[in-house]
């Protein structure tokens, strides 16, 4: 039988939902040869690591799926499904274009570098495309960080083996002026959910370890009034109590009678 809940029980959850407008994109881990190629085209490392992510007007938190195989014969009349490969979906990013067009140059010349291993000048009629080695054009430190409005909680994704796959055409026209945008899709080998820094590894909170949920926190029950009010879990000397202390026998010590009165005043449905 379902238990009917009061609005006060689920209101803290419904009023504390994550929003789509708080995120950050950061490019990093580009190969030295790729960085030099981009720098010679007017796209310096500072722009790549600091400004390009700020120009990202739309991003997507990555997703993945599992490829499965059918297993027959282990059990009579039963077909089993087993996972054998994890498949990562490509990532779509949209950027505002700065007045120096460095955002377009960044994406355009990154893709140019991938196909420009022929060592023949592009203006020559004999020019042909030859792919670079993957280690030359893939980067391993591009991140998408989703955080709350206060910046206290965050969800971080680090992409391994990322490179641009498709640069969409950019329409321009006469008429009402609008902000120029450029979109690109990126392929990557895999992503890591959670922090990956050496500090997080040492602190034990990498890969989303050590979530904000505390499994050792006291359960809210009638037999444990301390759990109904987080302030009571602190040192009793710093306890914030009712200014009217006429009902207390000793204002310097929290007694069991005090806790009973506090429990009665809490407007909460106890388990």
Q: Which of 136-145, 194-203, 245-254 has the highest mean pLDDT?
A: 136-145
Domain assignment of residue 57, yes or no: yes
Percent of the chain's residues with pLDDT above 70:
77
CA distance 48 to 44: 7
Confidence of residue 98 (pLDDT cuts 50, 70, 90): very high
Asked, for residue 47, whether it belongs to a domain, the answer is yes
- On whether residue 54 sits in a domain, the answer given is yes
d(CA 214, CA 182): 43
Q: What is the pLDDT of residue 263?
A: 64
Domain count, the chain: 2
Specify whether 178 is located in the same domain as 256.
no
Q: Is the CB of residue 62 less than 8 Å from the CB of residue 89?
A: yes
Residues 49 and 147 in one domain: yes
pLDDT digits (tens, 9 = 90+) for 18-28: 888 889 999 99
Q: Which of 105, 20, 109 is nearest to 57 (CA)?
A: 20
CA distance 46 to 191: 24
Considering the domain architecture, whether residues 70 and 30 belong to the same structural domain is answered as: yes
β-pairing, 154-160 with 78-88?
A: unpaired
Dihedral-angle region of residue 210 (phi above 0 means left; psi in -120 to 50 means alpha; beta otherwise): left
Q: Residues 97, 27: one domain?
A: yes
The answer to the question of residue 214 being in a domain is: no
Three-class SS of residue 228? Answer: helix
How would you class 234 by CB atoms within 10 Å of its CB: exposed for 0-12, middle for 13-18, buried for 19 or more?
exposed
Give dist(CA 32, CA 63) in Å, integer.
30
Q: Are residues 112 and 197 in the same domain?
A: yes
| Residue 216 located in a structural domain | no
Judgement on whether residues 186 and 261 belong to the same structural domain of the protein: no
Q: Is 200 in the same domain as 69?
A: yes
DSSP string computed for 246-261: TT-S-TTS--HHHHHH
pLDDT at 158 over 90: yes
- Domain boundary (181, 208, 235) is at 208
- Evaluate if residue 103 carries a pLDDT over 90: yes
pLDDT (mean) for 108-114: 94
Query: 203 is in which domain, residue-wise?
Result: 21-208
In angstroms, the CA 63 to CA 41 distance is: 33
- 78/228 Cα distance (integer angstroms): 50
Question: Do 155 and 245 belong to one domain?
Answer: no
Q: 56: domain CATH number?
A: 2.30.110.20
Residues 175 and 246 in one domain: no
- Helix, strand and coil percent figures for the chain, each rounded to 5: 25, 25, 45
Is the same domain home to 250 and 135?
Answer: no
Residue 104 lies in a domain: yes
Q: Are residues 201 and 252 in the same domain?
A: no
Q: What pLDDT does 46 receive?
A: 93
> Are 191 and 174 within 8 A, CB to CB?
no
Report the C-alpha gap between 161 and 89 in whole angstroms: 13
Residue 13: inside a domain:
no
CB 159 within 8 A of CB 193: no
Q: What is the pTM of this model?
A: 0.68
- Which of residues 178 and 269 earns the better pLDDT score? 178
Mark whether 188 and 230 lie in a shared domain: no
């Amino acid at each position: 039988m379902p238990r009917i809940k009061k609005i006060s029980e689920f209101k803290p959850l419904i009023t504390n939902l994550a929003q789509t407008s708080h995120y950050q994109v950061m490019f990093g881990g580009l190969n030295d040869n790729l960085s030099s190629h981009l720098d010679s085209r007017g796209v310096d490392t500072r722009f790549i690591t600091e400004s390009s992510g700020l120009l990202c007007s739309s991003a997507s938190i990555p997703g993945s799926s599992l490829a499965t195989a059918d297993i027959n014969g282990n059990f009579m009349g039963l077909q089993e499904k087993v996972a054998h490969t994890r498949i990562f979906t490509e990532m779509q990013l949209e950027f505002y274009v700065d007045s120096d067009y460095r955002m377009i140059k960044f994406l355009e010349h990154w893709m140019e570098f991938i196909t420009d291993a022929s060592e023949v000048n592009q203006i020559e009629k004999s020019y042909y495309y030859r792919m670079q080695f993957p280690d030359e054009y893939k980067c391993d430190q591009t991140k998408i960080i989703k955080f709350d409005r206060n910046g206290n909680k965050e969800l971080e994704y680090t992409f391994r083996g990322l490179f641009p796959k498709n640069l969409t055409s950019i329409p321009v026209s006469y008429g009402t002026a609008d902000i120029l945008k450029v979109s690109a899709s990126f392929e990557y080998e895999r992503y890591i959910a959670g922090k990956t820094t050496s500090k997080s590894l040492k602190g034990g909170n990498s890969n989303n370890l050590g979530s904000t949920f505390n499994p050792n926190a006291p359960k809210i029950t009638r037999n444990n009034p301390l759990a109904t009010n987080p302030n009571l879990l602190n040192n009793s000397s710093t306890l914030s109590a009712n200014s009217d202390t006429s009902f207390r026998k000793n204002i310097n010590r929290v007694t069991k009678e005090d806790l009973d009165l506090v429990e009665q005043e809490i407007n909460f449905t106890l388990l």
